[in-house]
Amino acid sequence: MADLYMLLHKASRRRFPGMLGSLDCMHWEWKNCPTAWAGQFTGYKHKPIVILEAMASYDT
């Protein structure tokens, strides 16, 4: 519980009250996607994509 309060306090000091971390994602076209998997990974542009998600807190 102390870790949670520490993260909330640091975020509040940086003018982001209530924030525990930062999340970002990126869509990449998967050019060498195996044919058997292509249907599962097809995105809105009708090409296989992989989504890279990154999460970070102040100490990483």
DSSP reduced 3-state for 5: helix
With contact defined as beta carbons under 8 Å apart, do 51 and 22 qualify?
no
Quick one: pLDDT band at residue 60, thresholds 50, 70, 90? low
- Tell me what pLDDT residue 48 has: 94
Distance CA 13, CA 1 (A): 19
- As given in the structure block, the two tokens for residue 22 are 């930062």
Would residue 57 count as lying in a domain? yes
Domain membership of residue 47 (yes or no) is yes
What does the DSSP 8-state code read for residue 4? H
Average pLDDT over residues 55-60: 65
Residue 41 lies in a domain: yes
Q: What is the number of domains present in the chain?
A: 1
Q: Is residue 9 part of a domain?
A: no
Please report whether residue 7 resides in a domain: no
Q: What is the pLDDT of residue 57?
A: 66
Q: Which domain holds residue 58?
A: 20-60
For the chain, the first-to-last Cα distance in angstroms comes to 19
pLDDT tens-place string over residues 5-56: 888 888 888 888 887 777 788 889 999 999 999 899 988 888 999 988 887 7
